[in-house]
Structures are given as C-alpha cells and as structure tokens.
C-alpha cells in the first residue's frame, strides 16, 4: 500500500503555518478505544442514524456549502508513530460557537496502521464521508468536496467538532480494524485556508488513485480497460436480454393494472 507520509507532513506544516499566521488553532486528544470514543456521545451512530437530508430551515450549522468552499480527503501511513492517536486539530470556529452559520469546511482524516492493505484505502475514503451514520449530521460529497449540515436537534444537544471527531474515529476504527492511530484536522477559518488545504488534497488524491489502480491490477483487474458496450463481444447478448427485461417490466405493469381493476 502506497503511503502518503509526505502529505501527512504537509498537513502538519499547514497547521503550523496557520498558527504562525494567527489563526485560532485548538488541539485536543480523544481516547483511543472505540468504546471510549462512543461513550457519552449525545447522538446515535450506525447505519441509518441519519436517514435523508437536513433542510436549511432545520440546520444548526452548515459546513462546506459550495459558495463557502470545502475540501475533504483521507491520508494514510504504514507508520502509526507519525500520528498521535486521537488528536483533533480545529482551525477556526467550532460548531457550537457558530449557530445558524454557513462555514467553509476542510476535513483531513489521517490514519496509520503498520499492516494496512490496499482495500483499507477504499474503506478509509468512504468512512471519512459517511453520509448517513451520524445522527443529525448530513453529508454530501464528491472526490474533492464535503458539504455537511448539523441539525438544530443535535446542535441543541451540544454537537461540536469533538462529537464529530469521536464519531468519525469510532466509525473508522470499526470499519478498518487494521487502523492503529487516527488524527483528524478540521478547518473552518476561511475559504482561502480551505483552498490551501485543497492543494495537498489534489496531490494526495492523484497518488491514491494511482495506488488503487495498481492494487486492482495486482489482483487481475485493469481499471483502465475500455468497457463501453460498442467494443464488447457480448453486446448482442445484452441487447437481447434488455428486450426480455423490457417485456417483463411491461407485463408486470399490466398485471398491476389488471389487479387494480
């Protein structure tokens, strides 16, 4: 698994630069154990904990609206010692300090494990943008952006970056047991700061994509192969099956209609 040690160092340097430039930088350390992370959380975690969307009228704080700017990515290393397990860095205002605000949002999840494998890269990428597993926290994301909303309901219960970090660390450690240490950095100070962070993201993502292709190639799958129907020998078979499917769907529809009458 290709590690992104240099990018982790760049994030550390980014935090130091932010501090030098006078941004409010806060750091705290959360307990290492998954159960300790979960204990006392004011929200539910797990699949379906946040079904659906949170509308603006229901939002306590919005993070990373496309106008405000956002950036979200995951980094990993095979040297857990590069990270301080449980450490959370917050640059800018916390959620609880910004009721009804729409803040820029940067989120970097850094995970370390001496025995991480290629599959873990995918799991880490997915775990850091959990869309429905944190109660009162909605996420919409693409490969570069992360746009989220904290509901008023959980805002009233004290949802903060401490809560979010605990939830993410718990979910990551549960999803990827080979992870030994996790650090998370959140940036809400300004769109410019988030865009600076985005430069690290772009480089890391390019390396990550290449590593993923290599990983699959080693298992006999070429992610670059041309898979469009026109070049496939089985196109005629699929075309015939599509016709069968269309006929079946039409018959189903007619059957429903007949029942209704």
**Binding positions for another protein, rule: CB under 8 A:** 51-53, 55-57, 66, 131, 140-143, 145, 147, 209, 223-224, 253-254, 256-257
User: DSSP of 203-217, one letter per residue?
Assistant: HHHHHHHHHHHHHHH
Identify the sign of the CA torsion 157, 48, 88, 189.
negative
Closest of 189, 192, 188, 185 to residue 165, by C-alpha: 185
Nearer to another protein, 39 or 55 (CB): 55
CB of 224 to another protein, least distance (A): 6
CB of 56 to another protein, least distance (A): 4
Nearer to another protein, 115 or 250 (CB): 250
CB of 142 to another protein, least distance (A): 4
Nearer to another protein, 20 or 228 (CB): 228
Nearer to another protein, 68 or 88 (CB): 68
Closest of 194, 212, 188 to residue 76, by C-alpha: 212
CB of 242 to another protein, least distance (A): 11
70 beta partners: 105
Closest of 185, 186, 181 to residue 32, by C-alpha: 181
């Amino acid at each position: 698994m290709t590690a992104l040690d240099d990018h982790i160092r760049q994030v550390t340097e980014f935090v130091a630069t932010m501090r030098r430039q006078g941004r409010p930088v806060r750091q705290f350390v959360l307990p290492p154990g998954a159960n300790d992370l979960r204990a006392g959380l004011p929200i539910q975690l797990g699949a379906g904990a946040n079904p659906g969307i949170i509308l603006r009228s229901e939002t306590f704080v919005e993070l990373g609206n496309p106008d405000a700017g956002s950036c979200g990515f995951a980094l990993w290393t095979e040297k857990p010692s590069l990270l301080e397990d449980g450490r959370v860095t917050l640059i800018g205002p916390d959620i609880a300090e910004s009721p009804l605000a729409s803040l820029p949002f940067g989120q970097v999840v850094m995970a370390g494990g001496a025995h991480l494998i290629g599959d873990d890269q995918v799991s880490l990428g997915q775990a850091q943008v959990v869309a429905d597993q944190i109660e009162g926290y909605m996420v919409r994301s693409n490969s570069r952006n992360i746009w989220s909303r904290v509901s008023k309901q959980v805002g009233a219960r004290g949802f903060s970056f401490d809560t979010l970090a605990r939830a993410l660390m718990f979910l990551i450690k549960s999803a990827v047991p080979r992870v030994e240490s996790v650090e998370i950095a959140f940036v809400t100070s300004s769109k410019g700061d988030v865009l600076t962070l985005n430069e690290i993201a772009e480089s890391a993502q390019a390396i990550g994509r290449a590593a993923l292709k290599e990983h699959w190639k080693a298992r006999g799958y070429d992610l670059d192969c041309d898979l469009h129907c026109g070049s496939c020998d089985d196109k005629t078979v699929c075309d015939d099956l599509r016709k069968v499917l269309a006929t079946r769907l039409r018959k189903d529809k007619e059957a429903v209609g007949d029942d209704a009458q």
